[in-house]
Structure 1
């Protein structure tokens, strides 16, 4: 054997040395195993014995002539046979030996292994080409010049047609990068070299023929090649959509923070404005009902102006709070069946004095049993606003008509007026906050928020608010809601004073309030009530000391005292002997629903919002005392 057998036997391929006459001179162990014969028996056999017919033809007509001409042959497909077994192989052949004793050396590997590797390579290539990103191999020389030595098919999806070659100049891709972003992209590459870390970053690109800039992300791992040459293996991905989502999320978070800040501002502003309004409205009501020192006609008229102005300011505060709640998604509705007739009758009764003063006639057409699915309190707010507008923006001796129609599982409430009507341009601006369409230049009161809030409330109840109008022909505002499917709930109504209480011991009321005006107002509001004794405390500690010595029957607590908040004070009062079951009412200028809910969760039985209504406060106080006296 002209070469070391041991070296041949260690090879994982078949090796054969064939004479010019076609006899097998030598074979290695791998080939012998394929053919199922010992090496000794193979020696001297003819190559034609272990080649298939097609293989024999190919060997004699192509392999041998090519070897004699060129001396070697690469990647030749042959098929070996041994009995019923056929083994396709990929062979390399070379011609050796002396001129008069030529030999052919064949090195063979199973075709199935080559095919397996090719299939794996094809699968990898298909996966790379189908990937939603661009896979690449990039080389940079010592002078900083770069070239792409591999680009997957994703390059065309990101940048358009790129001439595929074994080496693609980097400019073929960098020409699509935004000029402002390319320097940063190349700096990131050099930072990757210095730190030995990942080459990463975002940059703007514009594909061939595109008009908009997309955002791509590069992520590649460097490999040193020596002599300051580097190779990166990585991906480039289009992250435009992800970037838009992140930007939207950031904008949404910023809007939520702004909304929360606005809500907080509105809550604080409401608190600060309600506190002085409590004194203005409370004392104006006390002055109006004072029978011992009655006001003269002119004083009563002036007091009416003060009271009306304060109520107008309170209405504006409430409207601003409503808008803040709606925009913050904090509006809470109690959706239930509501009968329309009593609700409309109440709303008309509230507006009747204003309509009578303007010389207007009002009519109502509403089926007795019709009901809608709504929040009764909020629907009454909407209807009162629409009726108020129909009166304010009407003509002398005009008309206001309310017509209710029921059809197709829906109820439509039309509020019609005989006013001057509105143009198409005015209708387009009608639901803009604070836009009164020029009415601010007249004596007609308003803020320009009522309709905005009414539409949002109706939509929150699953309905719609629409308007039709023409100049000189009046306006019709229509509220459409779903028909109720169950027994209607009772309509909110005004409560009267509780019945007269039989003579008995005086009931003790402790009021913790650090504002002297509010304390004085409460003192004078309760003064006419027989059988009620009030004591005032200007701080939480003072209230605790008073309650320990003078156990009250009712606790009225401001929620923001100088030394502690109302919830903390209530908790400490409950720890005093005999006060665990005493009714407690929060009295506060905080009007946000969360404030009310938090107070009730802390143990307050009721929550009275400033500015207080004198009549309602007296009713509520007597009812609270009656609950105290009621048997368990």
Structure 2
């Protein structure tokens, strides 16, 4: 063991060689403890290492001292090689240290339940997880259950009892209420312990604080639930919009045809009644459009571009559109001085906000009142204000102004509206990086201000000539062929009536996608109008087949649908349609659009 020669002639061994065999880190301690045991004549028990040829061995020595007549000490003892045992102990100790580090890092505590005493034993980490000081004496099961959320106590007790009855596992999560009023979620994983006879004596397991993980999982579930609800709402709105727009297309379409009929003009009384039908139909259409706009904004399904917009040009265009409403109400609309003012925004969204503000200023004005539009540039912002001389708004009314469908009592005065316009206007303003402000007081009218970041005029910006902008292409006198793929008989009839005003156009009608593709296989029309919801295939499948056929790959195709959801429009355009027109149709615009395409 020490690498020395055996003693000869009872002269003892080479003590110096024995000392040289000791490991350098253990030699000083061995010497000190040996001298102390000799001085006090007490037993010497020591574990130490030897180092020979680079190999480490563990030895254990046990010896008893005896005084020698010559004044020295005689030792009686033995030394054993305990390397295997020591390596096992060190491995176990290392494993325990690693487990302790891992358990501490993961927050895993050890808990043991004794069935006989009905008590729990918790280690330091388990105590910390339970909000208890460590060390903790045996914790009665009743006290542990009292810490749990009332809704979890019965499940916890039953879970432990059922696991022991079945000699199975307990794997569950329980909510824990701490003394400071906070709550934690503990994850328990335990198995049964057995005695020598195979009887269940209790359970041994781990507990881990998973409060944050449970919160993240709940957030994920809430997010998925919200997304499902959002998708369901989108699908519902899409379906409702489609189902409402389809009959409206017939109502408004035929009413427009009757209004435009110069061959068989209506009597004045009939014309007024028809105007009432169209007015009611357009009011319902406005409500449908506002609901869809609000849904798109809430879902973030609004694609706005932030580019330089000439607000002065937008004001002129919107005042021209709104002027008939002002004339009917006897309200004057004053525009600002014709000076271009450029801001960052989306041109279409700016006009939608401005139309809403102007129409409100007219509808809620006093008789023979005034609507004043002003433009002002200040500190990098452009402020577009619309002021009226109406009754104004109280602070209470202003607090509820931007609530959907809340019309602040205007419905009792028979003023038309949906209660969504300002909600949509403010959302569009925010989406453009701006804001919509309000200044109002009772009896002094209201001023709504759209504020957008100022922008320099784009290079080469030229104000288009108004006459050129509104000029329509001259009607074509050449015979043109149009294929209309539509399954709704009322819509087919409306399109046929519309085409009667253009005798140089020939309309072919197909009742489904299969019939439409068969017609295209026989002859090539100049234009295809297709509904998106056909009985045998949807419009996306139809356009894919058209584009994948060499003879019709470049054919001009327009989707004509009652589905006005932006996602459907984007999908149709991406699939290959050249344009997307929504129902109900505006007869003059559809005629002009077809005329332009057939040019």
TM band (smaller chain): 0.7 to 0.9
- In the other structure, the counterpart of 1:368 is 339
- Following TM superposition, by how much is the alpha carbon of 1:106 offset from its aligned partner in structure 2, in angstroms? 6.0
Counterpart check, 1:297 vs 2:297: no
Q: Return the match for 2:5 from 18, 31, 38.
A: 38
Partner deviation per Cα, 1:287-325 (whole Å, 9 max, x = no partner): 222222222332222222111111111111111111121
Matches within 5 A, 1:564-575: 564-571=537-544
* Contact 1:128–1:153 (8 Å) recurs in 2: no
3-state SS of 2:537 partner? coil
* Contact 1:176–1:206 (8 Å) recurs in 2: yes
Matches within 5 A, 1:289-438: 289-365=260-336, 368-438=339-409
Matches within 5 A, 1:23-422: 29=1, 32-33=2-3, 37-40=4-7, 44=12, 54-62=32-40, 64=41, 66=42, 104-105=76-77, 120=94, 123-124=97-98, 127=101, 130-138=104-112, 140-141=114-115, 143=116, 145-148=118-121, 151-164=123-136, 173-178=144-149, 180-193=151-164, 197-207=168-178, 209-222=179-192, 224-227=194-197, 228-229=199-200, 234-365=205-336, 368-422=339-393
* Contact 2:164–2:203 (8 Å) recurs in 1: no
- In the other structure, the counterpart of 2:69 is none
- In the other structure, the counterpart of 1:10 is none
Instruction: Provide the C-alpha distance between the structure 1 equivalents of 2:11 and 2:133, rounded to a whole number of angstroms.
Output: 58
Partner deviation per Cα, 1:555-596 (whole Å, 9 max, x = no partner): 222222333333444455567785443322221111112222
- Following TM superposition, by how much is the alpha carbon of 1:620 offset from its aligned partner in structure 2, in angstroms? 0.8
Please identify the structure whose Cα radius of gyration is greater.
1
Instruction: Provide the C-alpha distance between the structure 1 equivalents of 2:102 and 2:554, rounded to a whole number of angstroms.
Output: 74
Structure 1 residues not aligned, in runs of 5+: 1-28, 68-72, 627-632
Label 1:115 to 1:222 Cα distance change in 2 as closer, same or farther (>3 A). Answer: closer
* Contact 1:419–1:472 (8 Å) recurs in 2: yes
Q: Return the match for 2:482 from 466, 488, 509.
A: 509
Count of residues paired in the alignment: 572
* Contact 1:421–1:474 (8 Å) recurs in 2: yes
* Contact 1:259–1:327 (8 Å) recurs in 2: no
* Contact 1:130–1:154 (8 Å) recurs in 2: no
- In the other structure, the counterpart of 2:22 is none
* Contact 2:391–2:445 (8 Å) recurs in 1: yes
Matches within 5 A, 1:541-580: 541-549=514-522, 551-571=524-544, 578-580=551-553
* Contact 1:339–1:490 (8 Å) recurs in 2: no
- In the other structure, the counterpart of 1:454 is 425
Label 1:226 to 1:94 Cα distance change in 2 as closer, same or farther (>3 A). Answer: farther
Select between 600-609 and 533-542 the one with higher mean Cα deviation. Answer: 533-542
Using structure 1 for the length normalisation, give the TM-score. Answer: 0.80
Instruction: Provide the C-alpha distance between the structure 2 equivalents of 1:80 and 1:575, rounded to a whole number of angstroms.
Output: 86
Q: Return the match for 2:570 from 579, 583, 597.
A: 597
3-state SS of 1:226 partner? coil
- In the other structure, the counterpart of 2:556 is 583
- In the other structure, the counterpart of 2:505 is 532
RMSD: 3.9
- Following TM superposition, by how much is the alpha carbon of 1:447 offset from its aligned partner in structure 2, in angstroms? 0.7
Instruction: Provide the C-alpha distance between the structure 1 equivalents of 2:310 and 2:186, rounded to a whole number of angstroms.
Output: 60
Partner deviation per Cα, 1:170-206 (whole Å, 9 max, x = no partner): 6664542345534433443455456665432111212
- In the other structure, the counterpart of 2:23 is none
Structure 2 residues not aligned, in runs of 5+: 20-26, 67-72
Instruction: Provide the C-alpha distance between the structure 1 equivalents of 2:381 and 2:95, rounded to a whole number of angstroms.
Output: 67
Partner deviation per Cα, 1:441-481 (whole Å, 9 max, x = no partner): 01210010111111111111222112121112221212122
